[in-house]
Chain A
Amino acid sequence: MLTKTLKYSVYLCFAWIVVPGLAQPDPHQLPPLTRAQIMATAERLAQHTWDCKSINMVARCPQAKPYTCHFQLDQKVTGIAYDWGGNDDPDQFDKKLADSLAAGSHSWHGVTACTAGIDCSGFVGYCWGQKKKFGTVNIREISARPKYNIYTDMKPGDALNKEGSHIVLFAGYKPDGKPIVYEAQGAAGRVILNQNRSWDSLKGYKPLQYLNVQEE
């Protein structure tokens, strides 16, 4: 799938100017990552398979609203579950499921200590090598705003971010010009490779580039 994704990507070797975010660390203190490494991590989270057991369909801690699981009993799911506020990597996710935590949650459940998964900004942060949980606002601490043409010059591993709302990881362009993205999406309930996005569904999003990306 990654190969297919990269095949669609447009690699234009434009030099660009990046506008740093606020309160940024020295980029060299961040883990250096190639774009291929970022995409491999995204693919790993989107392709992670797990079984939804009955113990993973119940949240065993106080919830703002009754817990309803996204998934069916014994469903074999591909993609780590969407968990609002979550930041679990595949190993942590599997361990939590084995420890009887519930698979995924939305904000309407309230932030829970008894659900497992990852949310949109946690996903992008993890793909960018971060263990700390970032949100769509403070992810600017580890990224910069590239000044390029979004519709032709984005590279796999950059992100499209709408502060306070959602963030996706750019994977490439389809032949018809539309974007291919990886995202931890609430509606899908998991991390997915999304090839059904139109540009207008990303209205108001701005590009971000990981500060210590290593161009190959």
Chain B
Amino acid sequence: MICLLLVSELQFLSCKSKANGNENIIPVDISLYKTIEIPVQLFSGTGSNLDAEKLTIFIGREDEMPEGPTSFDVMQNGDLVICDPLLQRVVVYDSLGKFIRQLELHLPVSRIQTINGDDFWKLQIATSGEYFLFDSRVTSSSLRMQPVQEGFDDDENRAILLKENKGIVFKSSKGNQSIDSFNVNFGSQEKLISIQNFGTDQKGNTMVALESAPGTDSVLVNRIIQKYNNKNVLVAQIRDIDVNLFVYPIDQFRIRNERCFQMMPLKDKVIIHIWKLN
């Protein structure tokens, strides 16, 4: 057995064991790398007198869900773009969580995705479901939004949940017609209840998000994010994922720049958790 245990670099290494000529890789746990905190303010029905640098949360009253940031993405330079639908805007923060600017769209944007090297953002409007392509280079006074038909990449079902804690993940790259797939075997006492494919990077690594449940009579969920290498072998996973959010965004996770980002809107702040995947 060859076991590499360099504690300081544990998150990047896999323990390899050979038994009967077969190589098994024991996935390593990726630990939290960094946390960013962005302040929030409570929305009470009017956008006036609110601080542009803070994100906005609505607590909700009886029989009403809380609302808040619904989606985010990460630019190539590490800046964060976050949908703040209560104030009908998109807010940009730097990689430390410092406010940079806001774009007042006067529409409740519920989802955002950066494309083509950050210059364009695909947006979805909550109250219509329509998609727009937004040129982020223009200023707010001369917005340029073009309606588009195509939705978000991750709307496509690229993974299938099977019985007995198993699933299938389909790999394909744009322009490549061939589709590869691999199996996911969730070896846990908990029940595997959903599987989501975050996509395959240029190195062939595929990130997969799993939801599992300890019981089955009310909704209680744990999350795991797994990294499969270019040979479709599970090599690493994130297990210390906090699932206690105040507002559940549509896009809670993003895999960008070989890092996994989680946006967690709480009552008093929005936390961005970051794990390094390389």
Contact = CB atoms under 8 A, between A and B. Distances in A.
Interface of A: 64-66, 68, 70-72, 75, 77-78, 84, 106-109, 119-121, 135-136, 147-152, 160, 164-166, 174-178, 185-190, 192, 195-196, 198-207
Nearest to B213: A151
B245 to A, nearest CB: 8
A198 B65 contact: no
Nearest to A122: B63
B126 interface: yes
Given A200-B211, A204-B219, A176 B63 contact: no
Contacts of B73: none
A9 to B, nearest CB: 14
Interface stretch (B10-18, B133-141, B190-198): B190-198
B221 interface: yes
Interface stretch (B30-38, B112-120, B156-164): B156-164
A166 B216 CA distance: 20
A77 B127 contact: yes
Nearest to B193: A151
Contact of A147 (B70, B217, B220, B243): B217
Majority-rule SS of B interface residues: loop
B213 A66 contact: no
A71 B250 CA distance: 20
Interface in B195-243: 195-196, 211, 213, 216-221, 223, 243
B45 A178 contact: no
Contacts of B45: 64-66, 68, 106, 108-109
Nearest to A84: B64
Name the interface size band of chain B. Answer: 35 or more
A175 B157 contact: yes
B182 to A, nearest CB: 15
B161 A150 contact: no
Interface stretch (B20-28, B54-62, B90-98, B268-276): B54-62
B49 interface: no
B138 to A, nearest CB: 20
B192 to A, nearest CB: 8
A177 B159 CA distance: 9
Given A70-B127, A165-B65, A176 B160 contact: yes
Contact of B127 (A68, A190, A201, A206): A190
A135 B194 CA distance: 30
Interface string B54-94: 00001011111101001000000000000001000000000
